[in-house]
A and B are shown apart, each in its own frame.
Chain A
Amino acid sequence: MKTTAEVIIVGGGVVGNAAAYYLAKKGVDVLVLEADDSIGHGGSSRNGGGVRQSGRDVRELPYAIYGIKNLWPTLSEELGVDVEYHQGGNLRLGLEESHLDILRGQVERATSLGLDVKMVDAKEVQEICPYLSDRIVGASWCPTDGHANPMKTTLAFYKRARELGVTFISGEKVVELKKQKGKIRKVMTENGNTYEGETVILAAGYESRKIAQTVGIDIPMTPFFEACLVTEMQPPMFDIMLGVATAEIYGHQCDHGSFVFGSGTGLEATLEPKLDDLRISALDVSANCRAIMKYVPMLKDAKIVRSWGGWMDITHDHVPVISKVSEVPGLILACGMSGHGFGTGPAVGLMLSQMVLDEPLICDSTPLRYDRFKSDR
C-alpha cells in the first residue's frame, strides 16, 4: 500500500476529493485518507444540496461566485458523472415583515459585492414558483443560485481523481500530525500507520480541530447537528433552491423527483457533541414536516421515505478556515466550513490546489486565515 505522496489530504469529503482532483489534474501525486469506511461519509453527503451565493458572508462570496460562474456549469461533463447541477435560482422566503428585514439586510450586503440578488414581492414569488404558500409576503431572489446532488458530486470528484491516479485509503482515521525539521511531514493514523508527504491538507470537518491541535494549532469551532429528510418521487414541480429568512428549512426537488429538505428542531445547540452519533432525535422529522408545509403546503401528501442527520463544523464567525499555517509550513487547513462546504466545495478544492502549487488564488484568502480569531473583550 502506498504511504508517501507529494500531498496528503486528510478527509475524503467533497473538499478533500475536489482538492485531490484539481491537484491530480495538474500532475501532483496525491494520497487521500478517509477515516470512515465510506468516502463522503460526513457532511458532504448529508447536506441539502444548495449551491448558493446569497446568504453567504462577504468573505466567502468571491469564491462562491467563482465556483458558480466557472466550475459548476461544466462539472458533470468534466467528472463524467451527472452531478445534477441546476441553476434555477434561489428564493429565500419570508412569512412576515420581520423576515423581510432580515432578507433586505442580506440583499444589501450581497449586492454591494456585485451579486445579482433582489427583493421580490408576494406576487413575484408566485410567478417564480407557483407551488408556494400564499402566506408568503416576500422573498429575496438570486437567479444564479442553484442546487446539485451532494452525494454524487462528492463521489464524482472521488471517481475522477481515482482515475487520474490519486490513491484513496478509507478506514484510516488520522489522529496525529508530526513536523520534521520544522516542516509538516508525518500523518499518523489510529491503526498505527504512518503516511508521509511534503504538504498536508486538513479537510476533516470538525475532526480537523483535534488533528490540528497535535501540531499546536487550534481553530475555534463547534460541531452542530442538522437533520434532513427526503420524500418519495413527485411529479416535476420546480427547479429552484428554497431557503427561508428564519433558516428553519432549505431544500429542493431532485432530478429523481423526490424533495430533499434540511432543518432542525431548534434544540440542536443542546445536543452532546458526539460525532459518531448520527441518530436523529424523535422530534426532528415532525418538526421538519411542519416547517416545510408552512412554505410548500402542497407537499402535504408526499410521503417521507428517509431521514438522516450530520454534523457541521461551525467556526466562531461562521466563515471557513482556508489557509496555510505559518508555524507549520506545508500544512494547509480547509475546515470550519460552517455548513457552506458543499456548494463551495469545487472552488475551495481548486483554491487548495493553487495554494499547494503556489499559484495565484481565485480570490484573496487572507480573510479566511486560521489566526483571525481574536478576543474582542
Chain B
Amino acid sequence: MVKVNDRMRDIGEFIPAKDDDILICRCEEITKGEIRRAVHDGIFTMEEMRRYLRNGMGLCQGQTCGKLVKNIMAKELKISPLELEPETSRAPMRPIEMEIYAKDGGNV
C-alpha cells in the first residue's frame, strides 16, 4: 500500500546509544547504529534501507534481520512497525551456483 510520506517531517535528532555497535544484519555486518543513523539521513522505508546499507541483501536475504531492522527503524521514525511496508523477495529463494542455475535446458 503506497502511502503519502513527507520526508521533511521532524523525527528528532540522532542520539548515539550504547548498543549502536551491535550487529543486526549478520550476513552484511550492518550495526544497529548504522541503521539508526541512516533513518536520519532520510532513509524511511525498508526498501531504501536495503539499498543504502545492503542489510538483508546477503546470503539469507533478510530472513533473520528483517524483523529486527523493521523494529529499529519504526522506533527511530516514531511509528508502528506495521506502518513500514515489508521488504520484497526475489528469486532465488536460496543461493545457487551460477553453473547450476545455467543448466535449465535453455538454448546454449
Chain A: residues with CB nearer than 8 A to chain B?
A: 1-2, 35-41, 45, 81, 151-152, 154-155, 158-159, 162, 167-173, 191, 193, 230-232, 256, 278, 280, 283, 285-287, 289-290, 292-293, 299-308
Contacts and interface: CB of A to CB of B under 8 A. Distances in A.
Interface in B62-108: 85, 88, 90-92, 95-99, 101-104, 106, 108
Given A169-B6, A307-B91, A283 B61 contact: no
Given A37-B2, A162-B42, A286-B106, A299 B48 contact: no
Given A168-B42, A293-B99, 11 more contacts: A37-B5, A155-B51, A169-B7, A170-B5, A256-B54, A304-B92, A305-B57, A305-B61, A306-B57, A307-B90, A307-B92
Nearest to B58: A305
A168 B44 CA distance: 11
Nearest to B2: A171
A152 B51 CA distance: 7
B52 interface: yes
Interface residues of B, number: 38
B45 A152 contact: no
A47 B4 CA distance: 26
22 contacts: A37-B47, A39-B7, A39-B48, A152-B52, A155-B43, A162-B42, A167-B6, A167-B8, A168-B6, A169-B7, A170-B4, A170-B5, A230-B57, A232-B95, A256-B54, A280-B90, A285-B101, A289-B101, A290-B102, A290-B108, A300-B97, A303-B59
